[in-house]
Amino acid sequence: MKLVGLRPVDDRKIVDRVLNGDSEAFNLLVRQWEKPIYNFIYRLIGDREEAMDLCQESFMKAYRELPTLKDRDRFSAWLYRIAHNTCYSRLRKDIGKTFVELQPETKSSRSSIENQLAVEKALQQLPEEQREAVVLKVFHDLKFEEIAQIQGAPISTVKSRLYMGFEKLRSILG
């Protein structure tokens, strides 16, 4: 089904429709947000299949909890927050596991695929909060204030995480 001709419909209008009984309209929100949310989760988790499962779980939670959404104009920030919570529940299960730190990549000319792999590996070497701050800022263009709400942290903390994340990435990627 083509979405050509569909203007960027206000999320709010779709949320209103869903809450007024047109449950199928939720699929429009899914179509608009599944790729960004999937990529957000994938860059946090590092595994495609697991990211897909968590993405699905996030949308299911969003559907069930939609009546609790206080500000219908901030659906996307609320959805990111749900995805954040879903990921962190999963990440907490990894506490105690040992991760082998990969050697820093050398900077010599990389193809775009190699670059992509290098970036993915480098992101996985960051602590979760720094990784999340970098991902939300660089790949999702969120403001510091929005990231602070998603992470449940002060803006100054988010900026520190981003700064330290970038410093570490700079040392890994060159």
Per CB under 8 A, does 36 bind other proteins? yes
Say how many C-beta atoms besides its own lie within 10 A of residue 92's C-beta. Answer: 9
Q: How many residues make contact with other proteins (CB under 8 A)? A: 52
Residues 146 and 77 sit within 8 Å (Cβ to Cβ) = yes
Per CB under 8 A, does 22 bind other proteins? yes
Per CB under 8 A, does 55 bind other proteins? yes
Per CB under 8 A, does 3 bind other proteins? yes
Amino acid in the structure at residue 152: G
* C-alpha separations of 76 from 67, 73, 125, 165 in Å: 15, 8, 27, 24
Binding residues among 65-124 for other proteins as defined by CB under 8 A: 112, 115-116, 119-120
Residues 174 and 106 sit within 8 Å (Cβ to Cβ) = yes
Tell which residue, 68, 3, 4, has the closest CA to residue 30: 3
Residues at the site binding other proteins, with contacts judged by CB under 8 A = 1, 3, 5-7, 9, 13-14, 17, 22-28, 30-31, 34-36, 38-39, 42, 48-49, 52, 55-56, 59-60, 63-64, 112, 115-116, 119-120, 134, 137-139, 143-144, 159-160, 162-163, 166, 169-170, 173
